[in-house]
Structure 1
């Protein structure tokens, strides 16, 4: 699974909150940046962000003088940040939930910035849709679980571990599709081999 760190842009700039919008714009224009991360005042402070939209909507739209407006007056702070190890599809969900266009990638320190463009261009979602990959992984895991249980026994520790992997994949697919699981692969297996419930401590699964 691709992570935020794999597709983020490391060429990112910071600006002081006390800087003028004019200075921020010049910095953006110099490198064709669409946003700047606003520096923290101290280690316990939060990062902020100023974007092209902030400048257009809050300064230009009202005819304000960018030389007299400070970054801290129009920035978003604290801004939503992304962990570099977060999977790209979860970054996309975070963006969708909060209507984000971009966000800084931070783990102790500023590592980069990730945007909608990065997600579209670098995530390989066309060539390798995440759901398709998960579904194939699930089928492979079910086959592996059945083979493992056949080689050992339905109540063996190896069998339990193999079905745990299936459970996690099936739960992730259900979450991706936003639907409930009517019957899990393990429940179907339990109907064939009731002894598989022997060492699994689930309240509802295979209880019938």
Structure 2
């Protein structure tokens, strides 16, 4: 059993560059944004103060738009997004974050503090960071 006195938290491994789209933007615009930013996931902004963030994935576009032969420029993101987005807080131990992500079969999720997005964390960033800990 190892006695690790320093706990690595989400804040240590997250990135702060976050890609957010409006829920009313078209899937075509979201897809263009994904391609430009080289990402497979976009966060969907809240519509009002009591709303929650959503996420739209490449797989959502494939299964809910392309596979159903819907026009990319005639479907809005809010029609296909997943909401609420599963999120973590920046002071969470990365071991619990890794467990949460794997339990829900997610590769990444937003990091929220006080209801505001402060970053993104992924299993990749957690695993590669763990290499440096050992």
TM-score (norm 2): 0.87
Bigger proportion of residues as strand? 2
Give 1:70's aligned residue.
Answer: 76
Give 1:203's aligned residue.
Answer: none
Residue number among 5, 10, 18 corresponding to 2:11 in the alignment = 5
Give 1:198's aligned residue.
Answer: none
Task: Give the structure with higher Rg (CA).
Answer: 1
The answer to whether 1:18 aligns with 2:24 is yes
1:56 Cα shift? Answer: 1.7
How does 1:20-169 map onto structure 2 within 5 Å? 20-108=26-114, 109-124=116-131, 128=134
Contact (CA 8 Å) 1:18, 1:72: kept in 2 or not? yes
1:123 Cα shift? Answer: 3.1
Inter-partner Cα distance in structure 2 for 1:87 and 1:37 = 23
Bigger proportion of residues as helix? 1
Contact (CA 8 Å) 1:7, 1:119: kept in 2 or not? yes
Give 2:4's aligned residue.
Answer: none
Q: Where in structure 2 are there 5+ consecutive unaligned residues?
A: 1-6
SS at match of 1:104: strand
TM-score (norm 1): 0.58
1:93-126: CA deviation from partner (whole Å, max 9, x where unpaired): 101221112110000211111122222222337x
Q: Moved runs in structure 1, 4+ residues, more than 4 A?
A: none
Inter-partner Cα distance in structure 2 for 1:101 and 1:24 = 20
